[in-house]
Each structure stands twice: as structure tokens, then as C-alpha cells.
Structure 1
Amino acid sequence: MIKLIALDLDGTLLTDDKQVSPENKKALQDAIQQGVYVVLCTGRPIMGIQSIIDALELPEHNDYVITFNGGLVQRATTREILAMHPHTLDDVRYIYETLSAHDLPMNAIDLEKVYEPTYPQNNPSLYPVIIKNLTFERREFDSFDDTHTFVKAVCCCPEDRLDCQVSQLPKAFFERMNVFKSRTNLLEIMPKGIDKAFGIAQLCQLLNITMAECMALGDEANDMAMLQAVGYGVAMGNATQHVKAVAKYVTGTNMEHGVAQAIEKFVLNK
């Protein structure tokens, strides 16, 4: 029996114009009526998904969200932090130095802002271009107190440049960090071992639910871990082939209300 549904947003719950379809909303509300937890599971911070939370009208007893790719578990209504696993300042300095050495721009994000250090010459970050609803601040990492932490780091630049330069990064970088793409032009860097599957596991412990009792839906590389970890891993019809290969099931596309299709089949038994 499925007790928790974990949902990626872009390319999964949301249509191409970033809306929640009436079909998906109804299926989720029907699942909630049956006592199932509905959990948004995203790389974004909570302030970047508030409009989606509002659109779903999640009840206060069912308002858990997993943000920053599993680095943060919190309540949507109060924003209370239930679990947090951030980068240290040393981590962020290491990421910055490594990426800068390969002419890649980098941003670090804490609970309040996105920080913009000096970028490589002629290679600014595209993150401020693709992310519109966050607060950005120009600031160097040597200006922070040593105890300051960051929930994630990102590298956002043209796809061809990103792919070329990332392939040149040292092996030690990937051994120390959890590195994956969430978009073709966006690389996300999390602390080692932190991903959406980890976030779901943290929440399951709090709710006394097993991973086998969870369903997760996603479409991109940063969803693969959670699709493999839960009892019902569902890839969207528009998911990449790598994601479909690790999923147990494939549903319709995000434009075909694939989330609703999966919920109706596995949760509502229609």
C-alpha cells in the first residue's frame, strides 16, 4: 500500500508552462483524502515553489516538502526545518576553486540567498537568468564566517561548454561531492550522499513509513536515486532514457497528466 507520493516538479508534476493541471491536482487531492502524504521533492528552495504549494492547497497535516535535492526536509506552512544536511564553507570554497580552475561559473545557495562570487572572465553564470524568484547577492566566499553553511552549489552555463568542461574535472571532485545535472545547462553539487532518495528516507523515518511504501515520480538525472530507492519508481513518458531504464514503471508525459495516470493506477486503483 502506497503511503507517500514524492513528486519532482519541472517535467513531472508541472506542464511545460509551469502549471499544475486540473487532472493532476484532483488525483493528488483524492490521494490525500485516502490518507496518503503528497510531498514535493525538488532541487529548488521552498521560496521558489510557494506558488505550486498554494496551487495544490495542501492541508496543514500533509504539507511536507523536500527541497534542495534532499538537503532539506521541512513543513510548507511554517517552513520549520525537520532535517538539514548542508555544505560547509570549506566545501563551497573547494567547489569554487575547482570549477574556477576549469573556467566554470559557480553559485552557492543558503536558506536566504544565492551568492555570486567573481566569475571566470567572459563566462558568467546563467543561474540568475533561469531562476527569477530568488534573491541574488554579489559576495566572495572569503567574506563569510567559518561556521556559515550552504544548502547546495550550482554551475549554470551553455550546455556544450558545461559538458566539455565537466568531463575535465578531477576524479577527486566527484569522489568528494554528489554531482548531477537537473537541466541540460545546470549542474548541481550536493554533499556526498545527499540526494532526493536521502531526503525521502529522512522524512519516512519521521512519519514511520518504509521506502517500500513510497511512490516517486520524475524525469531527470537528479530523480534517478529516488526512483530506484522507493517501492514504486515511476518515470514520466518524457523522461530521459537513463531515467526510464532505472524506473519500475513508465507513465504518460507531463503534458498527458502522467502524474494523475500513475496515482489512479497505483494509489486509487481505478
Structure 2
Amino acid sequence: MKGFVFFDLDGTLLNGESKVDVATAKAIQTLKNNGYEPFIATGRSSAETRDIMESANIHSGIFMNGQVVLYQGKRVYSSEIPTEMVKKFHQMVKEDGYGFTAYNDKEFYLVESTDGAKDAYGFIHTNPPALNADFYIDNPINMLLFICLPPAEEKYKVAFPNLDFLRNTPYSVDVISKGNSKAEGIKRFLEYLNQEDAETYAFGDGPNDIEMLQAVTHPVAMGNAIPVLKEIAEFITTDNTDNGIINGLKHYDLI
């Protein structure tokens, strides 16, 4: 293996309709043929990205901001949020009139519904999941999607000091175990393979990509990335809707 390439999804690997362009999928296959292992690195779960992974022919990933790491379909790391903590979160969300979804690497359900769910999931061109208020009671939970407008999460940061709150859309906040991130997921994967010195590349556009770009050998910011990401990038490629992945891979002679 010559190296590992990590791709954020929304605003990065995906186009404006949250799909993988055919040309991008072909570039990923060429990347693999050239001896590099592609990874998805996303705030989303593997359960909700199956179609994306299939269309891109990618079988490894850092999911839910580092909560779960899969390598060629095998789970090599998982961090779960304790059931009692989720229960307390549920009670507080219900009292405040917000909503949230509970995730693991196999399935996800709305636990507390709200009108904002349509906006939160519409932002990534999907529909809200089914409602299952008891899902977290008998199932492991890796991540919560807190459906709320800012600054609602500030109160919850104080109430749940062992959780991290990452706002990635105007309508929702990813809630994960304190200390996890895409960067930590990459680190754990490289340690698992004893490949800490491998050449690594990462493509991203948003706030939850900052640590990831700082953790790899070659950080790449999309043309549509936030300013701080462009400041730390080694290379700034074109927008995600303008062959940004292809142009970035070509810049490094990976394809």
C-alpha cells in the first residue's frame, strides 16, 4: 500500500445533490489501482452512507466523526455513548422541545421528533428516519444528531461535559464522545495497521475537517472550503462541483 486518502463527504466527495459524480468514482478506482486505499471520513454513519460507498467503490471509513472506524468492511474501533447518558439527553431534549436521532454503525432512528428534522435531513438531500423512541435502550449508540437551531447547544455543552458538540449544519449538531474526531479515527486506524509513517492525504471543506487536515501528511482544502481550512491546507483544489477531487488527486500524481 502506497498510502491512504481520506475524503469528507458533503461539500467534498459529493456533488451539489449529495451524489458521487461518475467521473469522481472513476478517479477513485484509478486511485485504488495505483496502490492507494481510499477512506470516507464523515460525520455520517456507515448505515446512512451505504449507497454512497457502493457508488464510489470505497469500503473503509472514519464514521460519526471518529466514533467508528471500518477497514475494508471490518470494524476496528467503536466508541459508544452510555445508555444512561442518552436517557438523560432524551429527557432534556424532550423538555426543551427539540429533537434528536440516535445512531450506531448499522441503523439509526429518530428518538424525539421535531419539525426541524425535515430541514436537518433536507440539508443533505435525504428524508428523516423512522421514529423509534426506545431505540437507544436496547442498542449501542455511537452518535446523536441534536436537531436544533443555534445557540441551543451551548446549554447542553454545560450539562454534558463528557460529550462534544459539532455543529455542521444550521439545523443540527453532531454529538459524540469527548476526545473523538476524524483525526483520532485516522490515528487509531494507522496504529491498527502499524502504518503510522504512511503517506496520508485528506480532502475537506468544513469545521469538522480542521483536525483531520492537521493530522495528515498532505492536507487538501476544497475550493468551497471555509477560510480557516484553506489557511492550513498544503493545496487548495477546485470546488466539489468543479472536479475538485479529481484535480486534487492529479496535483499529487495519485491518478
Which one of 138, 150, 165 corresponds to residue 163 of structure 1?
150
CA distance in 2, matches of 1:186, 1:211: 36
CA distance in 2, matches of 1:66, 1:170: 24
CA distance in 1, matches of 2:157, 2:68: 28
What is the aligned partner in structure 2 of residue 107 from structure 1?
101
What is the aligned partner in structure 1 of residue 117 from structure 2?
125
Q: Secondary structure at the match of 1:238?
A: coil
Which one of 195, 208, 215 corresponds to residue 229 of structure 1?
215
Gaps of 5+ in 2: none
| 2:22 is the counterpart of 1:35 | no
What is the aligned partner in structure 2 of residue 216 from structure 1?
202
Q: How many residues are matched?
A: 253
What is the aligned partner in structure 2 of residue 190 from structure 1?
176
- Please report how far the alpha carbon of residue 168 of structure 1 lies from its aligned counterpart in structure 2 after TM superposition: 4.2
CA distance in 2, matches of 1:134, 1:202: 31
CA distance in 1, matches of 2:33, 2:40: 17
What is the aligned partner in structure 2 of residue 144 from structure 1?
137
CA distance in 1, matches of 2:154, 2:122: 24
| 2:79 is the counterpart of 1:93 | no
Which amino acid in the other structure matches residue 100 of structure 2?
M
What is the aligned partner in structure 2 of residue 176 from structure 1?
162
- Please report how far the alpha carbon of residue 123 of structure 1 lies from its aligned counterpart in structure 2 after TM superposition: 5.5
Deviations 1:107-129 (A, max 9, x none): 2123443333345xx76534565
| 2:7 is the counterpart of 1:21 | no
Q: Secondary structure at the match of 1:30?
A: helix
Which one of 213, 238, 254 corresponds to residue 224 of structure 2?
238
Q: Given that residues 211 and 229 in structure 1 are in contact (C-alpha distance below 8 angstroms), is that contact kept between their aligned partners in structure 2? A: no
Closer/same/farther in 2, CA of residues 87 and 170 from structure 1, 3 Å limit = closer
TM-score, normalization: structure 2?
0.85
Q: Given that residues 43 and 69 in structure 1 are in contact (C-alpha distance below 8 angstroms), is that contact kept between their aligned partners in structure 2? A: yes
Deviations 1:152-200 (A, max 9, x none): 001124xxxx113234445353x32121122222210000111111111
Computed over aligned residues only, the root mean square deviation of the Cα atoms, in angstroms, reads 2.8
- Please report how far the alpha carbon of residue 246 of structure 1 lies from its aligned counterpart in structure 2 after TM superposition: 3.6
Closer/same/farther in 2, CA of residues 11 and 124 from structure 1, 3 Å limit = closer
Identity %: 25
Which amino acid in the other structure matches residue 151 of structure 1?
N
Which one of 237, 247, 254 corresponds to residue 261 of structure 1?
247
CA distance in 2, matches of 1:110, 1:230: 26
Q: Given that residues 113 and 135 in structure 1 are in contact (C-alpha distance below 8 angstroms), is that contact kept between their aligned partners in structure 2? A: no
CA distance in 2, matches of 1:170, 1:82: 29
Q: Given that residues 102 and 165 in structure 1 are in contact (C-alpha distance below 8 angstroms), is that contact kept between their aligned partners in structure 2? A: no
Q: Secondary structure at the match of 2:99?
A: coil
CA distance in 1, matches of 2:229, 2:206: 6
Point out the more displaced range, 12-21 or 105-114.
105-114
- Please report how far the alpha carbon of residue 135 of structure 1 lies from its aligned counterpart in structure 2 after TM superposition: 5.0
- Please report how far the alpha carbon of residue 12 of structure 1 lies from its aligned counterpart in structure 2 after TM superposition: 0.3
Q: Given that residues 47 and 107 in structure 2 are in contact (C-alpha distance below 8 angstroms), is that contact kept between their aligned partners in structure 1? A: no
Which amino acid in the other structure matches residue 251 of structure 1?
T
CA distance in 1, matches of 2:94, 2:230: 34
What is the aligned partner in structure 2 of residue 9 from structure 1?
9
CA distance in 1, matches of 2:84, 2:234: 38
Once superposed, which parts of structure 1, at least 4 consecutive aligned residues long, lie more than 6 Å away? none
Point out the more displaced range, 127-136 or 4-13.
127-136
